Amino acid sequence: MAISEKVLGFMERASWIRKMFEEGIRLKQEFGEENVFDLSLGNPVAEPPEAVKAAIVKAAQDPAPGRHRYMPNAGFPDVRAAIANALSAECKVTLGPDDIVMICGAAGGLNIALKTLLDPGDEVIVFAPYFVEYFFYADNHGGQAVAVNTKPDFSIDFDALAAAITDRTKAVIINSPNNPTGVVYTRQAMEELAALLKEQSQKRGKPIYLIADDPYKKILFEGEPTPNPIEVYEDSLYITSHSKDLAVPGERIGYVAVHPDCADSANVVAGLIFCNRVLGFVNAPALFQRVVKEVQHVTVDVDAYRRRRDLLYSELTRIGYDVVKPGGAFYFFPKSPLEDEMQFIEILTAKKVLVVPGRGFGAPGYFRLSYCFPDAVIEGALPGLEAAFREARNG
């Protein structure tokens, strides 16, 4: 083998979504696009809101010179100031432009955050089921992700979390609304998490940073949003992007906000800026920084996602699936009716419905289905979801 053995192993571990994607292409070629119901990907088909399109045109037509040059690695100061203003009210903490770093999507933000924080061998706690990229991102920067199981309703198991913290724990990553479960952490959970991390940081004489990876923040169906971590815990970094809330994942735009009083805050921010540079992002795209400055108040049509969530939840529970009702994002994470979800997915695939096995998210025995697709795809998948369930149950 010429390429890294480690990367080969990682590619195998991360291959579930790609395998389903390839299976989808094969099935579509064989049976026709309209007869295959691919619920495997989290790539929203929603178009960006009109206000975003107008802001793109305005930014592109701006005749001022120098609009496409290099800039400070943190991003344009006026854009960071606008974001800091918008965020200060939410966090109930005054943030300034120097607390914000513009990034190439949440993925870019997580990478610069982990590179900034981790020394070799440091541990980063993630909650299972998890977004599998966390493992690779931690490894990118010499660290190691440590998975902690959640409770059956996917809420945080604080005893399990406390037991997993060691002197090597540098950070905890949370994601709410969650991919793959759709659960939304409550204020009470965030306050309990903050208290536990504070106690553990004091006990160990060093900070445990809380990183919120929240690209689904605004795709919330009801109830109170999860508080911004900056509101409840000083040693916090809040990472978000506009991939989902403005439906522009291809444009790679988001930001990291750092609590102004977090441990070593000046170095944390300086490290993020340096890592933006040396990881090769250099800076977030100039045009899209201009765009998002204008549309911080805009969100995709959340009602459309809520409608699909409601339809799927009522159908999945009528059929008999054991599933937690998601409060946000655009995923369901039902229990497989067969213990080995791979066997069940084989039955589903034969009915031309594609989903992702739970083991891809550290939770065998489950599967993930996305509903960021047109109604026709979701409605078309329902007969297959029902027939596969009956077939699995009746042997």
Ligand X SMILES: Cc1ncc(COP(=O)(O)O)c(C=O)c1O
Binding residues for ligand X, rule: CB under 6 A, are 42, 105-107, 131, 175, 179, 213, 215, 241, 243, 249, 254
CA distances, 77 to each of 18, 68, 74, 99 (Å) = 39, 15, 8, 11
Cβ distance to ligand X smaller for residue 86 or 89: 86
Least Cβ distance, residue 292 to ligand X (angstroms): 12
Q: CB under 8 Å to 395, separation ≥6 — which residues?
A: none
What the block records as the tokens of 37 is 């119901």
Cβ distance to ligand X smaller for residue 116 or 181: 181
Widest distance between CA atoms in the chain: 69
Least Cβ distance, residue 263 to ligand X (angstroms): 24
Cβ distance to ligand X smaller for residue 179 or 336: 179
What's the rounded Cα separation, in Å, for the pair 192 and 184? 15
Cβ distance to ligand X smaller for residue 213 or 234: 213
Q: Give residue number: closest CB to ligand X.
A: 105
Amino acid occupying residue 107: A
Cα dihedral 195, 199, 200, 202 in deg (nearest 10): 140
What's the rounded Cα separation, in Å, for the pair 207 and 142? 19
What strands, in cross-sheet order, belong to the sheet with 331-332? 331-332, 367-370, 356-357
Least Cβ distance, residue 2 to ligand X (angstroms): 29
Least Cβ distance, residue 107 to ligand X (angstroms): 3
With beta carbons less than 8 A apart as the criterion, state whether 123 and 355 touch: no
> End-to-end alpha-carbon separation of the chain, Å?
43
Q: Is the bond preceding 180 in cis, omega lying within 30 degrees of 0?
A: yes
Least Cβ distance, residue 110 to ligand X (angstroms): 7
Cβ distance to ligand X smaller for residue 73 or 179: 179
Least Cβ distance, residue 132 to ligand X (angstroms): 10
Cβ distance to ligand X smaller for residue 150 or 241: 241
CA distances, 65 to each of 60, 74, 283 (Å) = 12, 20, 19
Least Cβ distance, residue 175 to ligand X (angstroms): 5
Cβ distance to ligand X smaller for residue 193 or 388: 193
Least Cβ distance, residue 9 to ligand X (angstroms): 22
Rg (CA), the chain: 21
What's the rounded Cα separation, in Å, for the pair 29 and 129? 32
Cβ distance to ligand X smaller for residue 243 or 336: 243
